[in-house]
Every structure is written in structure tokens, then in C-alpha cells.
Amino acid sequence: MKRTKIIDLYKPELIGSTVDVMGWVRTRRGNKHVQFVALNDGSTIKNIQIVFDMGHFTDDELRPITTGAAIHVTGRLVESMGKGQTVEVQAEKLEIFGTADPESYPLQKKGHTLEFLREKAHLRPRTNTFGAILRVRSTLAYAIHRFFQERGFFYLNTPLITASDCEGAGAMFQVTTLDLNNLPRTEEGKVDFSADFFGKPTALTVSGQLEGELGATALGAIYTFGPTFRAENSNTPRHLSEFWMIEPEMAFYDITDNMDLAEDFIKYCVNYALTHCADDIEFLSQMYDKDLVDRLKFVVEHDFVRLTYTEGVEILRNSGRKFEFPVDWGTDLQSEHERYLVEEHFKRPVILTDYPKEIKAFYMKQNDDGRTVRAMDVLFPQIGEIIGGSEREADYDKLLARINELNIPMKDMWWYLDTRRYGTVPHAGFGLGFERLVLFVTGMTNIRDVIPFPRTPNNAEF
């Protein structure tokens, strides 16, 4: 079909030409002489105004043009006299693709709450808000690939079905083709997984990192970008059961190189969105968060603060602040603590390093103090943890000792340990939660609103 996207109608060179516009009706108003339709086709937050001269059209012809209907208009693109738009289309021909019964169309009215729209996740992409969010999300995904490709990183696809539990969190979705109503049993009465599809228990991955390390210790620098699954029962505005993660992994990188990369990476993405999604970000800022643009620019323009977990805990303990969860050396930080450091104490993004080994994963490089590991978490305003990463333990014996200490079964780990057995190198990497980045850039406050079809406990409808 010959069609001009609405985003292109706003380029001056098309003025005076005849165009074919296709999209969904946002509103219709007017009188018996002239009718105005605001049309949107998803290519931009901007609508195009279509003007129907009622000398040429009958009321019957225009009757199907209600909010949500899909139409095709052929007409001349002209400069607009009215205020609020620079150009408009003077309709010459109308084709109705699909009507939307005003009695039942759920988005008939404007100004629905985000909660209401979550219940209508199958239609919410047609709203201004979700159009803007989804365009920003897509642009950020492109920026991520650009950032790494420009720097010679290779895109590595790691498996979604895995037999190992990278983060040791134990919160995995099992994958099986066994008949749950009629499970095969071993002689001891346990489920016989040798009869399962892969001949052993498998689950959806919580991280592509371990396989990423195999790639990095061959190609030098890789990144993954794919879906990740966590079966934690956490109903917070920052957790999804299915989210997207970007995990770069680099040979010959220490923790400082890793922090530098993480900081450059986030700044690049935020800046890319500011430049390429200006209209959408401006819209979201006006609708939801007046400080959004300033906050984004601030992050791009300022250095992140770097300090150790131990120093961070000291600041929190001396803050005089009553936290819901008390802080002590050795406890995991909650988002209230992270946000205090970022939003109130330093007033800028923070990278915390050298966490107690007990609260971090087995693969992190052990420091000489015997108590801490070379972990790094990047903490952001409004978000809390946006990145988690570390330098990796490259020493075979130390890594094996830690695996044994934590009773991680060797049968799951032999292939990972081979990276340390053959040509081991210092290396490091991190994981960025894609939706947390989209949350930050769009100024939204609930992670369910920045992924098209959120998966959370008890929610897999659409």
C-alpha cells in the first residue's frame, strides 16, 4: 500500500503534495460545514489533523469515524491556519478500514489511569503514553547494539533453557515435558528426570553470564541482550518475572575498566534517547514528571560517585535516618538505602563496590581481606540498582573452593571451571536490567508500564 507516515508529513518538503495517510482516529470534532479528525499512526507522538469539507462529504460517510477506528485518507498536505499544528491534510477521499464501536471500545475516553490501562494491555499501545514508551524502548534497544558494535563487542546469544542456576538464587521456572499428572518415578520414589526431555532437570535462565564468559574468553568482548526469567514472588514496582537483560563480558578487564564501561554505556544510552526521542520524552515529562529531562541531562553530564560498600554502610549508619530495614555491615542493601545514598546524600548516580562475599554470587573475584568480593552495583535516582556486575574470580583453586563452600554441584559446573583451567584471564562484566533503564528514561514509576506484556506473579493474560 502506498502510504506516507505521519512523522514524514512534518517534513517541509511534502507541503503541497497529495498524500495517503493511514492510522487510528484519536478524536473527531467540528460542525456541519467542516469536520476535524486527529489521526495517529504510531510513527510519532504527533497526530495529523485531517480536515473534511462537508460540502464534499456526507454525514453518513463520516459516521464510522469514531475514536479508535482505522481509516485511510487521501488528500493534500497544506500549511495549517489553526493553532496547535503546522500542517494538515485536506481530505479528498476516505476509506474506512475498521470501525470501533463507541459503546464497547475500551479507550473511547481520554485520561485513563495507568492501572486501568494495565488491565487493557492488549490495547494500551494505542494510547499516547504507551506509544511514547514503546518508541523510547525500541530506540534504547538500538542504542545498546550501537554502543557495543561501535566498540568491537560481539553479540552472543546464550541459551534460554539451562541446567545451571547462575545467580544461585534458586528462583527458576522449571522447563519440562513430563506429564505432571503422571510423573515417572525412580525406585526411591523421586521424579525420574532421566525420562524428561533433556534427560535432566532444566529451567529458564536467570542470566546469560556464565555462557557469556565462555564467549568473552574466546572473542575478547561480547554482550548478550535477551529475556531473563526469575520466579521470585516479588510484587514490587521494580521486579518482573520476565525481563530483558544486557550482559557485556570482557576479557582483560578489571573492576575499574568494568565501572568505566558501565558508566559510559548508560550515559550513551540516555543521551541517545534524549537526542532521538525528544518529542516522546517531552510528552512523558509534561504528563508525568516535570523534572524528567533535567534528570536525564544531569546523569549524562556528571561523573558517577564510586565508593565501597563498607563506606556506603558507614554513611547510612551515620545518616540519622530511620530505615524500614536497619543497615549493618553484612546486610544486603534495600532500595530505600540505595536511594538514600543516590537521591539524598550524593545527589547523583553511585557505584558501590566490594560487597561482603556472603551476599554476592560465587563467581566474583575474592579480595585479599577474605571478607569482600570485587562486586559493583550501579545505583540510580528513582530506580535503585540498575546494574549489577563484578570482576570474576579467575583463579581455578579459589573459584573451586568457593563452589565447594556453597555446595554447588560440580556436575553442573565443570564446563564453567574449564575457563579457569585452560588459558584463564582476568575478566569482568555486568548486567543491565533493560526495563530499569527504560523506567529511568521514560520517568515511569512502575516496571509493568515499560514492557509491552508484563509477566508478574498471577499475571500472564496478554
Q: b/e for 8-32, b at 16 or more Cβ within 10 A?
A: ebbeeeeeeeebebbbbbbebeeee
- Is 387 near ligand 4AD (CB under 6 A)? yes
Residues 119-178 close enough to bind ligand 4AD by CB under 6 A: 166-167
Cell numbers linked to 102: 463507541
Q: Which is nearer to Mg ion, 384 or 388 (CB)?
A: 388
Q: State the minimum distance, in angstroms, from the CB of residue 226 to ligand 4AD.
A: 12
Residue 167 binds which entry of Mg ion, ligand 4AD, none, with Cβ cut-offs from 5 to 8 Å by kind?
ligand 4AD
Question: Sign of the C-alpha dihedral, residues 172, 176, 182, 183?
Answer: negative
Find the part of the chain contacting ligand 4AD (CB under 6 A) among 148-156, 173-181, 384-392, 400-408.
384-392
Q: What is the closest distance, in whole angstroms, from the C-beta atom of residue 310 to Mg ion in the complex?
A: 18
Helix (H) or strand (E) holding 145: helix 128-150
Which CB sits closer to ligand 4AD, 234 or 286? Answer: 234
Between the alpha carbon of residue 271 and those of residues 90, 300, 344, the distances in Å are: 38, 6, 24
Of 23 and 384, the one with the shorter C-beta distance to ligand 4AD is 384
Interface with Mg ion, residue 384, by CB under 5 A:
no
Number of residues that bind ligand 4AD (CB under 6 A): 22
Residue 143 near residue 272, CB atoms below 8 Å: yes
100 contributes a contact to ligand 4AD by CB under 6 A? no
Residue 52 binds which of Mg ion, ligand 4AD, none (CB < 5-8 A, kind-dependent)? none
Phi-psi region of 370 (alpha: psi -120 to 50; beta: other; left: phi over 0): left
**Residue 4 sits in the site that holds ligand 4AD (CB under 6 A):** no
Of 68, 131, 215, 433, the one binding ligand 4AD by CB under 6 A: 433
The verdict on 391 binding ligand 4AD (CB under 6 A) reads no
In angstroms, give the least distance from the CB of 402 to ligand 4AD.
Answer: 16
Residue 9 or 447: which CB sits closer to ligand 4AD? 447
| Residue 388 lies near ligand 4AD (rule: CB under 6 A) | yes
* φ, ψ (nearest 5 deg) of residue 250: -130, 125
Least Å distance between CB 388 and Mg ion?
3
- Indicate the residue type of 103: E
433 counts as binding Mg ion under rule CB under 5 A: no
The nearer residue to ligand 4AD, 135 or 436, going by C-beta atoms, is 436
Residue 388 vs 443, nearer CB to Mg ion: 388
Nearer to ligand 4AD, 107 or 133 (CB): 133
Contact 295, 381 (CB under 8 A): yes
Partner touching 435 among Mg ion, ligand 4AD, none, CB below 5 to 8 Å by kind: ligand 4AD
C-alpha 259/C-alpha 263 separation (Å) is 6
Nearest to 15 by CA among 94, 93, 90: 90
CB-based contact 7:47 (threshold 8 Å): no
Calculate the alpha carbon distances from 22 to 10, 14, 167, 351, 428 in Å.
15, 16, 48, 47, 49
354 neighbors 374 (Cβ within 8 angstroms): yes
- Under 8 Å CB-to-CB from 244, ≥6 apart: which residues? 225, 226, 227, 228, 433, 434, 435, 451
The nearer residue to ligand 4AD, 26 or 402, going by C-beta atoms, is: 402
What's the min distance (Å) between Cβ of 387 and Mg ion?
A: 8
- What would the x/- binding string for ligand 4AD be over residues 237 to 276, using CB under 6 A? --xx--x-x-x-----------------------------
The reply on whether position 211 binds ligand 4AD by CB under 6 A is no
Give the span between the Cα atoms of 425 and 136, in whole angstroms: 37
Q: Which residues pair with 162 in a beta bridge?
A: 203
Residues of this chain that interact with Mg ion (CB under 5 A) are: 388
Residues of this chain that interact with ligand 4AD (CB under 6 A) are: 166-167, 207, 209, 230, 239-240, 243, 245, 247, 385-390, 429-431, 433, 435-436
